[in-house]
Structure 1
């Protein structure tokens, strides 16, 4: 397709579909080589269009019939992704028969075969690869689905809703009929057919209804579903207790598949999961993976109301369901685990994934204005920043008014396709707040930067806060946002001070300031001395504090005494950022006199040794800001300087606290006890392994890491030991990696870890090893998990080797993207995104990155997914 033919879809062009689909009956004759689908649509005209236009791709049209009469060829046109039926009546029935080969569907969109099992992925626009239909989220209807297949090969036949009939057919085939009583858009359609093991349980709702719960997996994986099932039941109860939302059917099915482009999909009553988001046991899953399973299971279940019962009117409103549901699963995880540590993890993710997106060529608002390929907008901005927008609403309104807003939103929009404006209106009406300026968070891209200065005179302390957002593509001029910012005060001994705004009678431990202008000054009274301000407590708003009045001594005090746990961690992170950037600058200037690290190292050790603090929090304290986060603080990114500075500071910490780290490792390994997937045990393991990571900087401790690997009774401790060995040039590394491979070579999910370890190694031979691994019998470019584990990890988690001075890392990535262009362009486009950072690289790397992007754009027949990312990434 030529570049000029690529159609840009714009929010401003939205128009309702001119027909109502009153019902849809689908009949599938399933065969990997040739599946036939008969779709029967009952339609009623609601607009003025004379012709019916339906979406459809990558299939053969067999026949079209209107009200039982087969249409002649001059009554319809099929091509360019559309079926147009001319001159339809006001109300009619349309029968469409299509055929396609699911086994050849490497894009994994629509209906495809995964390890001998039929499954679907219809979000965002996969349904159009199954049959001709108005494949848009605002067209909702009731589905009746008949599945027919070989009984021996596919004994399990599943779809949405309730199974109302089943039986045997001639020739060793059988059938099942499913009916979904709720209207839904086409992206929520699902079917699964295969030979699967069932793990069954139940849940009684608060109204006394019994729900049948099933998790369907490949045979032999049943025992690894226990944690996912328990997570599902916890999520169902939590949603009743916290949001008052009860499950609405009598059956809930979950299916785990091995080849899946996403993490999971919330299809009504038939969730389809990437197997890595379901399967977990101590031998194969780390603590982080247990938490991931718990979070994803909850997220997809919560979509039943925030996504399914109320869906989005158009794909520009994607964050209506995803941002809200991410916030809900974050609340759930905070209640299940350590709330402060969960918040730290969320902010780490936001800064590592979304802030770079906001500051680069792919920046877009939470509610985008336009797209070429909607799959490219399943982004950190839509999900994670979208969740932060909901969190800010929650903070501005308060928990009680927020809950009233949710109730009002459900009351107004249940069973409909809604917009972000609809949600904001419900919140504003329930909370009695004007959110018109706040809604700029939906339409304005970029991360706001705050500069905070202070004055103190005659007992009055003043904070002046300036907000600024840099230009982003298509948005050169930015307006001031409505920003909530929680602040607290400490005295010079670390004791909390009251926060009282000038003119108010009451004081509080902290106060949420509301910024609405480009510059505002807030005055506080009742203070006998100038306080140390604690800013953006709990990360109230997703902003960058680029200037604050804090000294190093202030940060050390906040690290030790701030009553807000997140703010304690943040003080340490900002202290480390300032120190590391000074080290980078000194190295760039050729100076041997870098900043003195002793005070920071001492403060870090004090926090790590503080037994009054949660072990999981102390593990977070010991983790320095990432290379990527440091890069975001620099106008011109110094890849090598950042890495050198970070490693130098880690070694300073390791030398200063070797005895402490040995003690922490030993005592907290013991405190963790026999493995159980609990937050407490995970915290002890996290701290013990953080200590091991510092000890492992000395190659003399390689045997210590190997001993831990050999003795580990759980995957968390085994992987921690392997990560230590992974960067070392010692014989213990090869011994451990070879043993791990031989032990788990038959388990695809665990083998992904083996591939990822080598992809993230800092060793100079990493890229050569990656090329060798592409020839490994277990590697396949057709498996998204394997591609992400090897190529995605290299590009996103190994900046030193990916950004090698000779450009070999860039060329390797682009070769793989071009290979995926025809196989699975959705995955290829996502892999390409790190190339968009070229503008902030020094001249040599900039030239190498742009050369590779030009190579992508010069390739004939680029898929829309890849073209959109490459063209935006390359734009000057």
Structure 2
């Protein structure tokens, strides 16, 4: 499953709904308490009589006692907001059952039985969007992590694997398309205007991978021939068009991405698809990004629909990456699944790495690596240093949906990437081959994966396992000394204390490095060292003069490097380093040192010489003809304010914002002519999806960002011209993003034009909300308040909520308003949204949870809002857990 990627756009770059509320303090689930299931369910047969308001479900379970269980005669069938209408065992009605809270307990005398339970649910009332729910007249499901229990009584845990047979009956006019997992085995019409379809999935799977979709849909169809010669039917389903092309015309990029993913997975990981059909359905109401249900992936429309008029280059990349991610889950998640939810990173960390490697191969490896690290630093590093810190394999939870985090996904991917770095690509492939072969059809653990990597790749990972059990971002202090003919690198690592883990052990940290000669600008080759102690020294001979150190090249380890580097060395690396990430890192470090030199005090920055060094380095980047524009655009971006705050023990968001904007303004004014010339050059490049055209579009936007801070009247003119001349969404949105933050007549005019131009397009309307909520305009907070009352805004759709409020929460100057009004606005949202969609509401808590790292006045205001939320009655367990942990 792909967690909903941040849709923000900023100048920085039944019964179910009405069921009784869950307790605010549910029982803590601990990893050490795991025990095998008492009963196994080899086969499941589901019969659905579909209706928007009253769907009947008959569940037939073939159960057998698990010899590895504890011998309990009762089987526990999990439920959530549903009631049993009838229960039979082996064909006979039985009274030998009882409710234990939401769960159904049935006492079974023998070793094997057939249980049939009938339930009824109301999809239209399911605003939580978990289980079976209605979306724009269609029915769809989301069952990860614990949504299946909102459909039927079942041992809803990932280590119970079953083969599923599904029969659906529904009104043919309302639900002309009936889809489920696996292959369609039969279908037909009934005399009463209904029709039916039967589906069978031959591969055993846990209940969280069950899927059903019924509605009026149209398909973009294609085929793919696997490496063994089997033809697979592919279909991407969207809402049926009403009198025009509609969404169907915007699925071509998704289909191409799917076919590229299938071919790449065969070539790079040796994984072949294993069903006759592969279906994707785009749904407009969805909590997550997408879901990897076996053979029937359900997607947020945001990650399916794309064309040049409505989707940016970033949207194109996101569609390709998420399509790949969910397809790759067919092996890393479906064929080999998780034993329990503590092992979530087993599938998600590995699959994120796989989609990252795929995207690198499809585009620019260096730019993709920079983008991935930027996400890690802006989302995961703050998580690691805050009250919600947890290992990639957590030890306990109260609500599992709160652990679909950047730590589990992004840091989890980095941990597996380190194994690949130490083993090398060929040996890593041997390790993954062994893992898939050894555990195919099983519910595995993180330890199973590590052991397969040891056996297949020939690594000793005995101490490396600490990466799975320790939270926190390691800090590596580096000092390079030179004496005689030798350079000595002294390294020391510390892993900061995190909640529940006050003391940490040193972990193996692989670091790629190179030592540059100052005169020639070259080096003798890259080396890999592994720091596996609290401190160590590494010696390099043959250096008559002090070399320049390039460390953690390619971001070979997810650590924070603490090192005092002279400005002239950073300028040197920014100009000469042949590792693109290291070059980017040098530019970032130069800027971070300048902006944090005074500890984030109001109006204070580093020395004038530091600012000149940044200007000199950026000028060289703009003039470097050897750089492609995609990379040039990355090097032009200043570190984000969240990342800057992470460099300080206590941060003043207002001071950081003022210092960063001040530097942007100085650079924009100093480099005005170069930036205008670059914008003019890039504007002459015609639209295309090739790297040169994409780089030109990125360059235009970054030039406007700097000009807007330094010479706003020039930026306003160029941005308005770019908007009016745009033949694609990337240029139009980039221009409007800059205009949204400026006081210029064109701002209101072009925002209105944008809204009217795309009236009725939900995804572009989301952009319109985000552009204003994330803008640098001094009245952004007032704009958000007005937009919350707009007729197009609704709390019922997660995309729309995120487009406004997540963009606002990611806007430091507005969210951190000294009055505390921004904090109050997010707290009000959480309280209003929690009864409607608890999972989405809980994701807004972490921005407030950073209060310990913020200066005292704002810190007190943030904590007060958390306490106000905590005091509210009937909080969902999702939100209650997040708030409780944030308050400590």
Q: TM-score range by the shorter chain?
A: over 0.9
Per-residue Cα deviation, 1:146-180 (whole angstroms, up to 9, x for no partner)? 01110001100000001111001232100000000
Distance in 1 (alpha carbons) for counterparts of 2:601 and 2:341: 48
Structure 2 residue aligned with 1:810: 823
Residue 538 (structure 1) aligned with residue 554 (structure 2): yes
Q: Report SS of the residue matched to 1:158.
A: strand
Task: Verify the 8 A CA contact 1:791 1:813 in the aligned structure 2.
Answer: yes
Tell me what 1:510 maps to. 526
Displacement of 1:138: 0.5
| Pick aligned residue for 2:871 from 851, 855, 858 | 858
Is 1:458 the counterpart of 2:484? The answer is: yes
Cα separation, partners in 2 of 1:682 and 1:140, compared to 1, 3 Å: same
Equivalent positions of 1:600-619 (< 5 A) are 600-619=614-633
1:30 aligns with 2:53: no
Q: Whole-Å Cα distance in 2 between the matches of residues 351 and 770 of structure 1? A: 27
Structure 1 residue ranges without an equivalent (≥5): 499-508
Matching residue of 1:751: 765
1:436 paired to 2:462: yes
Query: Paired residue for 1:695, among 680, 699, 707?
Result: 707
TM-score, normalising length: structure 2: 0.95
Q: Does the 8 Å CA contact 2:24/2:875 hold for their aligned counterparts?
A: no
The 5 A counterparts of 1:309-348 are: 309-348=335-374
Q: CA deviation at 1:42?
A: 0.5
Q: 1:445 to 1:593 in 2, by over 3 A?
A: closer
Instruction: Tell me which moved more, 184-193 or 201-210.
Output: 201-210
- Structure 1 position 720, deviation (Å): 0.8
Mapped partners of 1:587, 1:862: distance in 2: 38
Q: Of 485, 488, 494, which aligns to 1:468?
A: 494
Give the corresponding residue for 1:849: 862
**1:111-156 residue CA offsets vs partner (Å, 9 max, x unmatched):** 0001111000000000000000011110000000001110001100
CA distance in 2 between counterparts of 1:725 and 1:181 reads: 54
1:189 shift after superposition: 0.3
Deviation, structure 1 residue 594: 5.7
- Secondary structure of the equivalent of 1:180? strand
Specify the alignment match of 2:572 in structure 1: 557
Give the direction of change, closer, same or farther, for the CA distance of 1:560–1:808 in structure 2 (3 Å limit): same
Contact kept? 2:645, 2:653, Cα under 8 Å = yes
In 2, the alpha carbon distance for the partners of 1:528 and 1:592 equals 33
Q: Which runs of structure 2 are paired with 1:639-650 in the superposition (5 Å)?
A: 639-650=653-664
Asked whether 1:211 is paired with 2:232, we answer: yes
Alignment of 1:341-740 (within 5 A): 341-498=367-524, 509-548=525-564, 550-582=565-597, 585=600, 587=602, 596-671=610-685, 673=686, 675-697=687-709, 698-701=711-714, 702-740=716-754
| Partner-residue secondary structure (3-state), 1:497 | coil
Distance in 2 (CA, whole Å) between partners of 1:770 and 1:586 is 28
The Cα offsets for residues 281-340 of structure 1, whole Å up to 9 and x where unpaired, read as: 001000000000000000000000100000010000000000000000000000000100
Tell me the secondary structure at the aligned position of residue 739 of structure 1.
helix
- Choose which of 137, 144, 147 in structure 2 pairs with 1:126: 147
Query: 1:12 matched to which residue of 2?
Result: 32
CA gap 1:593/1:239 in 2 versus in 1, 3 angstroms: closer
Equivalent position of 2:91 in the other structure: 68
CA distance, structure 2, for counterparts of residue 198 and residue 798 of structure 1: 38
> Are 1:55 and 2:55 counterparts?
no
The 5 Å alignment of 1:29-178 reads 29-46=49-66, 47=69, 48-72=71-95, 75-178=96-199
Q: CA RMSD in A?
A: 1.4
Deviation at 1:2, TM superposition (A): 8.8
Structure-2 separation of matches of 1:117 and 1:89: 42
* Alpha-carbon separation, structure 2, partners of 1:660 and 1:653: 11
The secondary structure found in structure 1 opposite 2:658 is helix
Q: In 2 relative to 1, CA 367–586 (structure 1 residues): closer, same or farther, beyond 3 Å?
A: closer
Q: Distance in 2 between matches of 1:211 and 1:2?
A: 43
Deviation at 1:456, TM superposition (A): 1.4
Q: Would the alpha carbon gap of residues 228 and 853 (structure 1) be closer, same or farther in structure 2, given more than 3 Å must change?
A: same
The answer to whether residue 296 in structure 2 is matched with residue 270 in structure 1 is yes
Deviation per residue, 1:217-271 (Å, 9 max, x gap): 0122111000000000001000011111111111100000000000000000000
* 1:611 CA drift (Å): 1.4
Judge conservation of contact 1:278–1:293 (CA < 8 Å) in 2. yes
Task: Give the SS at the match of 1:171.
Answer: coil
Aligned residue in 2 for 1:502: none
Structure 1 residue 528 displacement after superposition: 2.1
Cα displacement string for residues 401-437 of structure 1 (whole angstroms, at most 9, x for unaligned residues): 1000011001100000001100000000112221010
User: Once the 2 structures are TM-superposed, how far is the Cα of residue 593 of structure 1 from its aligned partner?
Assistant: 7.3
CA contact (8 A) 1:805 1:845 kept: yes
Q: How far 1:599 moved relative to its partner?
A: 2.0
Alpha-carbon separation, structure 1, partners of 2:779 and 2:626 = 43
User: RCO (CA 8 Å, sep 6+): is it higher in 1 or 2?
Assistant: 2
State the SS of the aligned residue for 2:393. coil
Q: Structure 1 residues 313 and 364 mapped into 2: Cα distance closer, same or farther (>3 Å)?
A: same
- Offset, 1:598: 1.4
The secondary structure found in structure 1 opposite 2:767 is helix
Residue aligned with 1:125, SS: coil
> What's the secondary structure of 1:212's corresponding residue?
strand
What is the rounded CA distance, in whole Å, between the counterparts of 2:115 and 2:620 in structure 1?
Answer: 73
What TM-score comes out, normalization by structure 1 length?
A: 0.96
2:881 matches 1:868: yes
Match among 770, 775, 793 for residue 789 of structure 2: 775
Deviation at 1:529, TM superposition (A): 1.8
Local SS of the residue matching 2:675: helix
| Alignment check: 8 A CA contact 2:595 2:606 kept | no
Structure 2: stretches of 5+ with no match in the other structure: 1-20
Residue pair 1:584, 1:642 contacting (<8 A) in 2 also: no
Q: 1:592 to 1:445 in 2, by over 3 A?
A: closer
The match for 1:21 is 41
Give the conservation status (yes or no) of the 8 Å contact 1:583–1:594. Answer: no
Whether the aligned pair in 1 keeps the contact of 2:480 and 2:549 (CA below 8 Å) is no
> Within 2, Cα distance between the matches of 1:699 and 1:683?
23
Task: Give the secondary-structure state (helix, strand or coil) at the position aligned to 1:215.
Answer: strand
SS at match of 2:846: helix
- Aligned-partner SS, 2:597: helix
Tell me the distance in 2 between the aligned counterparts of 1:84 and 1:305. 33
Aligned 8 A contact 1:608 1:619 in 2: no
CA shift, 1:684, in A, is 1.7
Q: Is the 8 A contact 1:9 1:371 kept in 2?
A: yes
189-198 vs 723-732, greater mean Cα deviation: 723-732
Post-superposition offset of 1:5: 4.8
CA contact (8 A) 1:364 1:446 kept: yes
Partner of 2:18: none
The number of residues matched between the two structures is 858
| Separation (CA, whole Å) in 1 of partners of 2:269 and 2:600 | 50
